[in-house]
Structures are given as C-alpha cells and as structure tokens.
C-alpha cells in the first residue's frame, strides 16, 4: 500500500527533525495541572520572586479549566476531578492573580463543595493543604516513622513499599510526624472548602476508618513488635527514625537535585527538609528547585511541570521505531541516539538489589537524570534499540549482555515481571487503608511488563517457548487473562495495552496463533474496533477495572491493537486493513484524540499524555505491517 509507505516517511521526518543535539528525544510527558499547582506553592512558600514563571503557570492552569469550574484528569472524565480542582483553586489564589469573587474561582469553589469539599480530596491534596495550615493533620499518620529503622530483611519494613512509593512516603511521614505548617502572607483561607465543618477533618476520609481499625491496627502492631526489639533507648527511637528518613531521601537525590526525578516526591522533600530545620536558601533546596525548573516543558498553554522527564524512554523507543521502519544502525540519527542510551545505562546498585541480591547492574531508567532507579520497560526498550549495534560493536555488545542479565534476574518468583523491584508484593501493604495502596504501594507482576519482556526475549534474544523463564511467564499470563479474552495493562490504558503486550509477547516466543487464549483475545480485540478503523479506550477503564470504550480512536491505542493482530495473523484481515487505513492518515490529525492520555500512572489519580506516543507506536505498527505483508510478498 502506497499510503503506508507515505505515512512511514512522514513520521520519520517528524521524528528526525525533533532529535536533540545529544542524540536524545525529549517530548513532553503531560499529566494533570496538579504539578503546576505544586510549582506555584513552592515559589510562594520559598519566597522566590519569579512573576514571569508565575504568569505562565497560572495561564496554563486557567486555560485547562472547564466551564463548570472544574479541572479534569482526562477529557472524558465525568464533570471533573475533585482533588485536581482543589489543587488548582488553591494555587490560583496563592498566585495573587485571582481573588475568590472572580467568576472562575466561584465556579471552582461550587464544584468542590458539590463533590463533598476538601474532606473528600485525595491524600496528596490533603497533605498539600495541611502544609499550609488549611487542613488538620491527623493525630498519627498510618505509617509511623519508626518503620524506617527496621532492616529490609525484617518481616515488615519500609522496603515492603515499592521505590516510587517510598520516595513519596518518606517526606510525607516527616511532615505528618512534625505536623508541619508553612503558611505565608499569601496563603489563602480555604475554610469555605470544608462542607461539614462540624466534623473534624483529618488526612483519612471517614470511609477508610473501618479499614484502619482492621488492617491499619494490625500493621501498626506488627511494626511495634519489631521496633521494640531494636537496641536503642525508647527516647532515641523517634528522632533516630526521622534522621533515617532524612538520610533515605538525601541518598536518592539525583544530580539535578530532584528526588528520583519525580516532581511530586521533590515537592514533598522540600517541605520535609524545611520541617527538619533546613533554610529555604539551603543549597539542597535551591538545587531541588533548579531541577524542577529543568523539568518544565513549554506547552501551547504555558509551562508545564512534568511529573518526570521521559528522555531515556522516548529515545529508546524512537531509535527502535526508526530502525523497524528501515533506518540502519549506521544511520547518523541512530548512532547519536544509541550513544546517548549507552551513556545512560546504570552501573551502580540501587534499591532493586535488596530483593535481587544475585543481580548485577545493567538496566536503564526513565529519565535523563535517573541513575539509581532502573526499570524493566526502559531496559527492554533500550536493548531493542541497541540490538543491531551490539552485533557490530564490542562496547554495545557488552552493554547489551549486562542489560539482558539484569532483566532476567528481575523475573518474579510467580513468573511475571514487575516494573521496578522483584517480589515486592506484600499483601499487608497493598491492603492498608491508604488510597491507592492496592495499586501504587507495591510492585507485583503485570501483564504489560511480562508481555513486553517476552516480546523482547523472543524477537531479540533468541528465547523460545521451551525455555524455563518463558514457560513460567506464559503460565502467569494465561492465568491472568480476563474472562472476555482481554488482559489488563498496568502502565498503559488499559485493556488494549495489556492485550497487545500479552499477544505480541506470546507470539514472539512461539505460542501458536491457534491457542484458545490467543483466539479469544483476537476476537475481543476485533470486536472493539471503531467504525473509522481505529481503536480507543477511556481512562475510565483503569479506574473501573473493566473495558470502557472512548467513543473515538487514538493513534497509540490503534497501533497497539493493530500490532497485536499483525503478530497473530499470517495474512492481513479486514480488521487489520481498516486499522492500517486509519493509521495511514493519523500524522495529519490535530484534534484531541492525538493528545488523549494513554499512559497509566496512579489509577484514578495520574494519567499521562506522552507527546511521543502518536509517532512511536504508529511507526512501529505500520512498519511491522509493511515488513510482514508488503515487503515479503
């Protein structure tokens, strides 16, 4: 098909023009305006006079407000998101750009109150407002600081939480323990956001108290049982715990000053340092703010503080996609990209070592400044990109082998792969009465990571269905297929993502296309195709844990579904041809579907619009179509 070749060329041109001088690609990782609100809070709290940046941040926030006064996590979210609206309302008042009586603020306030007020907001929002004295700290935070003293091998420890949860919890535990408040002359009065002032507000919603009495008390008792055995005087334990948490944070500060390169954890770290007595002008805080500034991305509406930067992820995926589309490893753009990736391979031990003592470093992380938190997805992405070069270059070959060894060492005992840390799936931690504990506190095996790892092992590392790690992974995948034939994906939206990962993974290692599970998945995928030939799934799926169609098609989700069908079928089917026709014109589209968030973060709380995705996944799917059906004919 001529249209396929033309679309591949168009996407190649866009991608090649956007490569940075250092060989990387740095597209925006867009999430909700909560991070922009955080930047406003920090600027005012620290007394940093940057009104130009303040103008840009407030311009972006106001541009994203809806007619009913609310802000949303994704376009089709019903009415709006309470917590995001509270964050934006608070930040706009704090910015000194808006007063409460302005219509847009009145509409936001009315929306907040109609949804139950500040007391129904999520934990991060309650912490942010408690730090300003606008929400009551609880008498005791559910996770006591003493847990920091327990060794990682203890029956219960701080390391039962996954790394990205730990770097948020550590500073939050410090400020909650100190009941720290840092109000300024600009801090607005948010008392009118409390719908029922007669009920004393606290960090935990009332609906969680029953779970607290059951699971929370057991958790606290387990911690107490082990803490009392520590060889310290009781009076020293508390201060020692706080010092340990402080040391934990500082040991994980990256070269740019941020904590694990997450803007949200860095936000709370700055307040934790203030609570520990650091000056607002301390070099650590100054450097952290500098790192946050580096994470700003200029969007059409104004600067956006990215929750994380995605340079390594984008670069690995785009280098691989360009090679799939026909560019050789010797192409200058591929050479530059791969030099960048080789520089970003990690050679030091991170927290992953605790549960994987036999592993040796060799993985890749997500962000440009990520040096200690490698993950499975970025590692397989980098290894795909480097595969061709590793056959020609000894340095690349050695790096590729180290990466493969680390990847294999990270397989969970149940046969699947986690995102960051091996066998970090404590039932006690995931059942804690903290919102999101079941989805973001631990790091169990996931379909998407397991499927993508199988796809890499089969297509690029020579593994087959008969190999032991592959057998374990396939058994795990088959056991986690949904009744309707789909699979749920943790880090993308959601059933289209998981089903694509599972199918492409199983096909790569030699599972038969006639396998009943495969055929059931293909039938499900085909039934979800839209009339325009594409596929689209709502972020509602991720919240409800059941498939919810978007009612429109998106480039990345169409590419995932199409790529899965291509992997299964030896010849193009009508569904494949309609999908190809849709993707063959997607690079010319400019509507909301091209920027719909299809990346997962925190179910019901964080979704990502990867600005790179509209190019990466269509380029890969179309290239696979052309290679399998056109070039081979």
Active-site positions read 377
Contact 181, 130 (CB under 8 A): yes
What backbone phi and psi angles, to 5 degrees, belong to 196?
A: -125, 80
Q: Which residues partner with 29 through β-bridges?
A: 610
DSSP string, 152-177: TTSSS-GGGS-HHHHHHHHHHHHHHH
The answer to whether 569 and 503 are in contact (CB under 8 A) is: no
What is the distance between the alpha carbons of residues 319 and 333, in angstroms, rounded to a whole number? Answer: 8
Look up residue 550 and give its two tokens: 């978007």
- Which residues does residue 118 pair with via DSSP β-bridges, in sequence order? none
Give the CA distances from residue 522 to residues 447, 495, 517, 567, in Å, rounded to whole numbers and listed in that order: 16, 13, 9, 11
Centre a 10 Å sphere on the Cβ of residue 213 and count the other Cβ atoms it contains.
11
Helices of type H across 179-216: 209-211
CA 332 – CA 94 distance, rounded (Å): 48
> Quick one: which of 436, 431, 360 has its CA closest to 398?
360
* 352: nearest Cα among 371, 333, 338, 367: 371
Cα–Cα distance measured from residue 543 to residue 474, given in angstroms and rounded to the nearest whole number? 26
Burial class (CB in 10 A: 0-12, 13-18, 19+), 294: middle
Strand partners for 364: 375
587-622 as b/e, with b when 16 or more CB fall inside 10 Å? Answer: beeeeebbbbbbbbbbbbbbbbbbbbbbbbbbbbbb
- Extract the tokens encoding 43: 């600027």
């Amino acid at each position: 098909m001529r249209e396929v070749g033309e679309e591949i060329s168009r996407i190649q041109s866009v991608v090649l023009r956007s490569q940075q001088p250092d060989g990387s690609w740095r597209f925006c990782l867009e999430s909700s305006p909560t991070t922009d609100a955080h930047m406003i809070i920090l600027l005012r709290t620290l007394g940093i006079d940057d009104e130009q940046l303040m103008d840009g941040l407030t311009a972006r926030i106001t541009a994203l407000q809806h007619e009913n006064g609310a802000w949303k996590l994704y376009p089709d979210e019903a009415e709006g998101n309470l917590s995001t609206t509270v964050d934006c309302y608070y930040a706009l008042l704090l910015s000194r750009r808006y007063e409460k009586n302005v219509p847009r603020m009145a509409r936001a306030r009315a929306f907040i109150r109609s949804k139950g007020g500040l007391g129904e907001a999520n934990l991060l929002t309650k912490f942010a407002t408690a730090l300003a004295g606008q929400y009551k700290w609880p008498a005791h935070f559910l996770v006591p600081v003493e847990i920091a003293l327990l060794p990682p091998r203890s029956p219960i420890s701080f390391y039962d939480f996954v790394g990205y949860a730990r770097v948020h919890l550590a500073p939050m535990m410090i400020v909650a323990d100190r009941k720290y408040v840092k109000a300024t002359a600009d801090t607005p009065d948010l008392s009118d956001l409390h719908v029922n002032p007669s009920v004393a507000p606290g960090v935990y919603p009332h609906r969680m108290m029953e779970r607290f009495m059951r699971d929370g008390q057991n958790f606290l008792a387990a911690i107490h049982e082990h803490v009392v055995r520590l060889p310290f005087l009781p009076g020293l334990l508390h201060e020692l715990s706080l010092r340990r948490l402080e040391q934990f944070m500082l040991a994980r500060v990256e070269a740019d000053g941020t904590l694990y390169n997450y803007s949200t954890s860095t936000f709370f770290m700055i307040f934790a340092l203030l609570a520990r007595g650091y000056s607002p002008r301390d070099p650590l805080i100054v450097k952290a703010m500098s790192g946050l500034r580096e994470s700003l991305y200029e969007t059409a509406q104004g600067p956006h503080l990215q929750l994380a930067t995605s340079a390594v992820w984008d670069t690995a995926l785009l280098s691989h996609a360009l090679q799939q589309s026909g560019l050789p490893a010797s192409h200058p753009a591929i050479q530059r990209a791969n030099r960048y990736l080789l520089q970003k391979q990690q050679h030091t031990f991170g927290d992953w070592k605790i549960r994987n003592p036999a592993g040796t470093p060799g993985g890749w992380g997500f962000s440009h400044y990520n040096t200690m938190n490698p993950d499975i997805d970025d590692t397989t992405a980098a290894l795909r990109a480097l595969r061709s070069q590793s056959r020609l270059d000894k340095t690349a070959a050695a790096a590729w082998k180290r990466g493969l060894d680390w990847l294999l060492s990270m397989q969970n005992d149940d046969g699947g792969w986690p995102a960051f840390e091996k066998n970090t799936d404590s039932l006690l931690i995931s059942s804690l009465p903290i919102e999101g504990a079941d989805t973001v506190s631990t790091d169990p095996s996931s379909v998407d990571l397991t499927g993508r790892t199988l796809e890499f092992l089969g297509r690029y590392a020579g593994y087959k269905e008969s190999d032991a790690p592959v057998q374990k992974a396939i058994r795990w995948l088959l056991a986690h297929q949904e009744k309707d034939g789909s699979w749920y994906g943790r880090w993308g939206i959601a059933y289209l993502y998981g089903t694509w990962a599972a199918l492409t993974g199983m096909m790569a290692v030699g599972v038969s296309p006639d396998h009943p599970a495969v055929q059931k998945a293909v039938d499900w995928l085909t039934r979800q195709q839209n009339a325009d030939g594409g596929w689209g799934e709502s972020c509602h799926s991720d919240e409800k844990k059941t498939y919810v169609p978007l009612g429109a098609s998106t480039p990345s989700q169409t590419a995932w579904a199409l790529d899965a069908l291509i992997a299964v079928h030896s010849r193009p089917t009508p569904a494949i041809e309609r999908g190809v026709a849709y993707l063959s014109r997607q690079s010319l589209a400019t509507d909301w579907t091209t920027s719909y968030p299809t990346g997962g973060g925190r179910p019901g709380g964080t979704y990502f619009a990867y600005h790179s995705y509209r190019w990466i996944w269509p380029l890969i799917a179309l290239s696979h179509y052309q290679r399998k059906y056109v070039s081979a004919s």
